[in-house]
Amino acid sequence: MDNVNNVNLSVDFFLNKLEESKVHFERALDCKHTEFDDLYPYMIEHPQFFWYKRYVAWSELLTIVKLCEELDIAWTERFETHQAEYVSNRVMSSKVLDCWYETNDTREHVG
């Protein structure tokens, strides 16, 4: 059991976890199947399910980002500039939900 205390985790490990959590959040944002659906299949019947599913995925993403920051692992280049700003602000607002995929091209076509 002493080996468990001497685990040497690589930067690649954290960046892979970051990518996985980003994909998980984006799948939840798009209402696609995630691991959460398998854990709580009864939740699909409840209207608040998709909000809660997104909240869980967002929390996971923030946790991985916090670990990256504590270990001085650069994480922002894995995101679009506005996405990194949303994550840095830590609040999952309607703007995050509505504009996560927004690019300069999509902004020009709005209204």
Where is pLDDT greater, at 7 or 101? 101
What's the CA gap between 99 and 32, in Å, rounded? 18
pLDDT tens digits for 24-62? 999 999 989 888 888 888 877 887 888 889 999 999 999
pLDDT at 104: 61
As a whole number of angstroms, the distance between CA 24 and CA 32 comes to 9
Average predicted confidence (pLDDT) for the chain: 87
User: What is the domain partition of the chain in residue ranges?
Assistant: 11-99
Instruction: Please tell me the pTM assigned to this model.
Output: 0.82
**Rounded average pLDDT over 58-67:** 97
78, 22 in Cβ contact below 8 A?
yes
Q: Which has more pLDDT, 43 or 65?
A: 65
Residue with tokens 């994550």: 87
